Amino acid sequence: MANIWARKSIDQLKKEAGASESGFKRTLGPLNLINLGIGAIIGTGIFVLTGQVAADNAGPGLVISFIISGLACAFAGLCYAEFASMIPIAGSAYTYSYATLGELFAWIIGWDLIIEYLFAASTVAVGWSGYVVAFLTNFLKIPLPPELIASTGTKLIKVPPIPGGRIIEGWAPISDGLLKTITEAGLTPDKLPHATSLFNLPAVLIIAVITLLLIWGVQESTRFNNVVVVIKMTVVLAFIGFGVFYINRANWTPFIPPNTGNFGEFGWSGVLRGAGVIFFAYIGFDAVSTAAQEAKNPQRDLPIGILGSLVVCTVLYIAVALVLTGVMKYTSFKGIAHPVAFAVESIPQLKWLAPFVELGAIAGLSSVMLVMLMGQPRIFYTMANDGLLPPFFAKMHPKFGTPYVASIITGVVAMVLAGTVPLSILGELVSIGTLLAFTLVCGAVIVLRRTEPNLPRPFKTPLVPLIPILGILTCGAQMLGLGLDTWIRLFVWLGLGFLIYFLYGIKRSKVQERLTAKES
């Protein structure tokens, strides 16, 4: 049991990073890595959550919520950048923990990263499905059967055209906000058609397509991602560029609406609650580090990719928040699941932009799934090489040079989750899993600075230990703000992980084997 704290040496990790030993092809430059980060970050947060947070929590103070969450991610990002430059090997925070905190912590964070990547891919696939169904129904007039557009058991209602366009017509999941909007329009919900979904077919299909693309090759996948990033960046910049001319400054007053009497509903508590909710918008920048063994010059390019994508996305988020709450009163976004498209549709001169915004959202969510589904197999690959998972997870495709078995397993599990599990449960797990990973990475920087102060660090986190401590505090505070149910699910998931580690991983760990050989 004493060996569960065994660490892998930095020299050993660097040897494992060799392209000739790993089988990965080094094809990614700094621009590819920045695009990977942008591809992972810009998606659900900017196209879905902005309106929700403005209407329910922060009002125009949504801008400050973005800044708070961005700072928390910046603290963690600086820590990630130091590790990525020192330990340029696939595995992300799992590998960093193995070098600093020992095997047990490495297992915990590796198991936790499954929540961040695999579950996040499923979560985004559900959001992607919603946009695709809406686009097919409203713009192409191709409705899909209600039994195939939502997770298993989801209750749906068919929404007729409603004057003012506050909600998209067609089949939609039943919610209190939706029923209220229908009632306010003078309709009786009970008299409208109802249905129950069997599974989410579009979500399953998109994960299958992206999984096949990733098996084909990382260079081909990044080319696809680069095209998608250009599309969604163009749409976001078009919204900012055209929308700025229709801003009414009166909509920014009050910038932070008074508190309603409930914690988290406007006032500064609403801004803080909004930061916790909008944190989901930043998930994914750390996925850049999972491509370490496919970077041409990882010591230089990984910090550029991580920090560059964070800076670009934070600036865009702030600009979108300002324009969104400037062109319409924040209260208008109550119950709106497509705030950017809704804002465009509400401006007669910009209605032509609406279908492009919808396509931009679809493209944005596609690239998020691609990066998430790219990151998870590479973590499985590294854990299998360490002996903590069965060796088939590390099996490489002889032609394409990708961990195809791990990619297939990841894709199949993600398809099952996306097709059957409700969005709310998936989203909460993703948030708490990611925050835990960020917290441990920040702590690992402090540990390694004390235990290995003389190691070469091509990139150094500034102001250590202040920056890592701020990262721990900001991420930890957002974890505390999550509900009890989310914490229970996290502990159940970690408990399952401990069971696998002590029944399988600890007995087959290559580090444990080396230690046992030395002792004998």
pLDDT in tens, the chain (520 residues): 557 777 877 677 766 655 434 456 667 778 888 887 887 788 767 777 788 788 888 889 999 988 888 888 889 888 888 887 777 665 567 877 887 788 888 898 889 888 878 888 888 888 788 778 878 887 788 888 989 888 888 888 888 876 654 455 678 777 666 787 788 778 888 889 999 988 899 999 999 999 988 888 766 666 777 788 888 889 899 999 999 999 999 999 899 999 888 877 888 888 888 887 777 777 777 767 666 667 777 777 778 888 888 888 889 989 999 999 999 888 877 756 678 877 887 788 888 888 888 888 888 788 788 878 888 888 888 889 888 999 999 888 887 777 889 999 999 999 999 888 776 677 677 778 888 888 888 998 998 899 888 888 888 888 999 999 999 998 888 787 666 788 898 899 999 999 999 999 888 888 777 666 666 5
Q: What torsion do the CA atoms of 418, 421, 424, 428 make, to the nearest 10 degrees?
A: -80
Phi, psi of 426 (to 5 degrees): -60, -45
Give the domain ranges of the chain.
2-154+197-478
Which positions ≥6 away from 48 have C-beta within 8 Å?
127, 337, 338, 339
The count of other CB atoms within 10 Å of the CB of residue 453 is 8
Pick the CATH number of 2-154+197-478 from 2.60.40.10, 3.30.70.2860, 1.20.1740.10, 3.20.20.140: 1.20.1740.10
Identify the residue whose tokens are 């209602």. Answer: 157
Name the token pair of 517.
């050989």
Closest among 28, 14, 17 to 374, alpha carbons compared? 28
Give one DSSP letter per residue of 410-469, joined into a string: HHHHHHHHHHHS-HHHHHHHHHHHHHHHHHHHHHHHHHHHHH-TTS--SS--SSTTHHHH
Phi, psi of 262 (to 5 degrees): -110, 135
Q: What torsion do the CA atoms of 132, 133, 135, 136 make, to the nearest 10 degrees?
A: 110
* Dist CA 504 CA 211 (whole Å): 27
Residue-wise burial string across 321-335, b where 16 or more C-beta atoms lie within 10 A, e elsewhere: bbbbbbbbbbebbeb
- CA distance to 109, 132, 427, 429, per residue, from 433 (Å): 9, 28, 10, 6
